[in-house]
Structure 1
């Protein structure tokens, strides 16, 4: 039976309609466990913009989603090399970050990075390094070398966690065997593949999610991970140490950007500018364990962020850091083949 709306119901609907039209929202597509939920709640309280959070585990997952037509996102968080790829493939909108009021707080090389020199398409979020951490209570002191991860000791068989990240795994394996990053030489990439296949029986799993929980629960003894994750593990497992391999390691920078097809562009820009506020980005740093290029945020950082070697590298360690550039199509094809053979 068709219901007839009474006067009171009609009046209520008339009030609700303009309120619904005024509702503001944005959809954030971010790395797993990479922004504090309370920070998003405070953003909503201060701006009236509701945030829906969706999560991914790698830059390649993000890229594939966008290329497959995933246009339901307003803010995304690509890493350095992926920003360059997305700019070249016309997947990002120009947002002119330097024109945002809070961009004045950004300092250092990430103000004008190689992948987006004018910051037309992106805004800085967090930066850090990738290496491995291990529980010193469960393993003898290990060398500061990728050898401990890629050619582990027998007692660590089945107790090693690896990232499900083609770029990090292959780049760091390349460093260890002396192969140039982004090699286009099949013979060189065969050496990398052989190393990863030799390592495979020692690996308990390939997973970039849940690393903190696995380490804290002592499900594995050693895990490839980002430095901020190692910092967070240490809060519950003080015997964990983060390694600076002598062969070199990845330096990366994650960024906020707006993809082509975003529906809530103005709300996204408000969010990006809001995250550049020192107090706000510091709250994110305290949660993630990573630093930002906003020096003024230091007064809001927790004391442990300023003393943990995983967060503040030892003197001279910066010489080990290398920020990866995008690989050529030929190099990428070889990397894909290697990773497919390792994971099958």
Structure 2
């Protein structure tokens, strides 16, 4: 009898060990389908502890300090992911443990590979563009003559003054705002030139008095959804989420998204494992799980961001997969740009610029 008990204990030990495993995930706010998290836990017995952030600066601060305790993080390819790769803060992925890697779009992975040669440290989770979130009903009422297809709507001071009464906002991320402003000015989005950065600062300060806020991603989404603001420089998926919430609320708030006609800033959010992750095996298992077409389709359907698994497209909810703001036409992608990673001196200049812009002086 004791032998049977011993055998049973030995057989149960691996399952019990797995059941006690905790996967520590650090991801953007409102950036996963909760049912996907639940399904992974049920399939594997691995419990997920899920924390969120709303800016790349917050993520980098956590990881730069070391011993963050996280097993899986989702940094944007440029500049955060690129900096973390160069600093040795991320573990190279073991593709043998990620058989669903084969599902990834090779063209998109090649573009993301600019930050990570050979795609050694990350797989694309979701991606998107930076553009304008618009409360269309208010803008039509106030300024029906204004073109809605470019950053002139927000960044030209005369337009900002006309629309200030219905609320203007710029998301609190120098990383994601400055490249678009530089591109709008006809400058290199990666410029480290002090004159170019002064021009970008002047453009932002010129509209600063008209801004209702410079909120984080989550707060900006809420401001759009409730109709508190009518123009925002924001992530595409946040605006599309806000539009869905506004429709569900049924209060007549009509939200739309516009990618700049001159070519939007493209970003790729990467699944990556910190170098000191306590449970890298669990992190590999979760990455492989997320790259299943039916799983990542559920994520895209829920958060309204495109993914990099082509086989998932037919499985995504029709209103999402057929929305050209979620999946931009090839012509928009062809004109889009992926910003590079500023060097240390340029980064300091940009950081000080952003502090002055936030302070309004």
TM-score (ref. length: structure 2): 0.85
What is the CA-CA distance between 1:285 and the residue it aligns to?
A: 0.6
DSSP-derived class of the 2:139 partner: coil
CA offset at residue 315 of structure 1? 5.9
> 1:9: which partner in 2?
none
Residues 97, 285 of structure 2: 8 Å contact kept: no
Which of 294, 301, 318 is the equivalent residue of 1:286? 301
Separation of aligned partners in 1, 2:340 and 2:190: 9
Alignment gaps of 5+ in structure 2: 1-8, 248-253
1:50-90 CA distances to partner (integer Å, 9 max, x unpaired)?
A: 10111111222211111122421000001112222111100
Q: 1:156 matched to which residue of 2?
A: 163
Residue 304 (1) aligns with residue 319 (2): yes
Would you say the 8 A contact 1:126–1:253 is kept in 2? Answer: yes
Quote how far apart the aligned CAs of 1:182 are. 2.7
Offset of residue 240 of structure 1: 2.0
The within-5 A match list for 1:1-344 is 21-22=17-18, 23-81=20-78, 82-97=80-95, 100-112=98-110, 113-140=113-140, 141=144, 142-143=146-147, 144-151=149-156, 152-157=159-164, 159-207=167-215, 208-237=217-246, 239-314=254-329, 316-344=331-359
Residues in 2 aligned to 1:20 and 1:47: alpha-carbon distance in whole angstroms = 11
C-alpha displacement at 1:154, in angstroms?
2.3
- State the Cα distance separating 1:20 from its structure 2 match: 6.8
Aligned to 1:157, what secondary structure does the other structure show?
helix
Deviation of 1:236 after TM superposition, in Å, equals 3.9
Question: Residues 160 and 207 of structure 2 are in contact (CA less than 8 Å); yes or no, is this contact kept in structure 1?
Answer: no
Between structures 1 and 2, the one with greater helix share? 2
Write the deviation string for residues 248-285 of structure 1: whole angstroms up to 9, x where unpaired: 32101111110011111111111111111111111111
Shift of 1:99: 5.5
Cα deviation, 1:138-188, whole Å, max 9, x if unaligned, reads 012542121111223423215012100012221111112222223222222
**Aligned CA-pair RMSD:** 2.2
Distance between the aligned counterparts of 2:172 and 2:29, measured in 1?
13
Q: What is the alpha-carbon distance in structure 2 between the residues aligned to residue 98 and residue 114 of structure 1?
A: 23
Q: Matches of 1:260 and 1:45 in 2, distance apart? A: 27
Cα offsets for 1:163-214 (capped at 9, x unmatched): 0001222111111222222322222211111111111111111112233322
Structure 1 position 92, deviation (Å) = 0.3
